[in-house]
Amino acid sequence: MGKYGDYTYGIYIFSFPIQQILIATKSTNNPFLLFFYTMIIVVPIAFVSWHFFEKKILAFKDREMF
């Protein structure tokens, strides 16, 4: 799975706000459906976050600043 990217941080960061939005809009009361809906929404967001932001920012990690 690591060769496609590391989406775990994006899932970690974005899952709680998405869950709160789903709960606030009364999309579901069932925790299993909440998990399912959250994953459907969050995984593509984590994919975009990894490929367009995190991966590029991590490229600066090993560079010397001065």
Give residue-wise pLDDT tens across range 15-57: 999 999 999 999 888 999 999 999 999 999 999 998 898 888 8
Q: Model pTM? A: 0.78
pLDDT of residue 2: 65
Q: How far apart are CA 18 and CA 24, in angstroms?
A: 10
pLDDT of residue 1: 54
Q: How far apart are CA 9 and CA 42, in angstroms?
A: 11
pLDDT of residue 35: 95
Give 33's Cβ-side CA count (13 Å radius).
7
Q: How confident is the model at residue 64 (pLDDT cuts 50, 70, 90)?
A: confident
